[in-house]
With several copies, the nearest count.
Chain A
Amino acid sequence: MTIKTIFSGFGGQGVLSMGFTLANAAMLEGKYVTYLPSYGVEVRGGTANCTVVVSDEEIASPVASEPEFIVAMNQPSFARFQSVLTSGGLICVNSSIVNTTSARGDIEILAVPTSELADKMGTIKVANMIMLGAFLKASNIVSFDFMLAHLQEILGEGKAKMIKLNQEALEAGYTFVKE
């Protein structure tokens, strides 16, 4: 099984670290993983996206043609990436600032008002982790409990202080998604 996910949004939205976190977790779980950030512009303020491929076998290409999952944190990303989503795929959308109407009938859309949820937690900075939590619930690419338990290891020492906040954010997103 090879599962491809594209995380996308604005430069400052923590899109890359979402993908990075997922990739690290999957690697710890012993999977084959590629993580490929692809910032569109050398400069600040552009759009950013990254592709995470998780697989049980060696991965041929880190590029996701026909990804199974997409996370779109802003409008341009939603517009751009929903069209490449594989039929039957799932797109998680930051509904706080994205109009989620899509022309495609063959895909599933999960609307998460991440900005509002983050605001409730007191800082917009955790919006990405909220989305990641929601995404994990819906995709089940890595075990949510595993990620929670190993978050320190996954994020690296630097982020030690933030672990607790991030765990809460992940959980907020996870529980936002109904079974």
Chain B
Amino acid sequence: MKGSIRIDQERCKGCSLCMEFCPKKAIFLSDTLNVKGYFVVSFDEGRECTGCATCAVMCPEVAIEVFRN
């Protein structure tokens, strides 16, 4: 099963919880600062994502949307 996620980087506060709990380690902390002044996370397109939505479940900012085939 192939999935992908969309991160609303303006909502992201870089708490890393999505990253930490992603079973596929498909999220990484970027060096992009958002308007709020946080370094935000990004989806690693190169990694396998199962669309399991674990990241969205963890995200305290409701910043992640998840898609799946």
Do A and B touch (CB < 8 Å)?
Answer: yes
Binding site for B on A (CB under 8 A): 9-10, 12-13, 45, 73-75, 96-97, 115, 119, 124
Contact present for B37 and A9 (CB under 8 Å): yes
Question: Chain B: interface secondary structure?
Answer: loop
B45: interface (CB < 8 Å):
no
Interface size class of B (residues with CB under 8 A): under 10
Which residue from B34, B35, B37 sits with its C-beta under 8 Å from A73? B37
Interface residues in B22-41 (C-beta closer than 8 Å to A): 31, 33-37, 39
Report B40 CB to chain A, min CB distance, Å. 11
Cβ contact of B33, chosen from A9, A12, A45, A96, cutoff 8 A: A96
- Chain A to chain B contacts (Cβ below 8 Å), 20 pairs: A9-B37, A10-B36, A10-B37, A12-B37, A13-B37, A45-B36, A73-B37, A74-B35, A74-B36, A74-B37, A75-B35, A96-B33, A97-B33, A97-B34, A97-B35, A97-B37, A115-B33, A115-B37, A119-B31, A124-B39
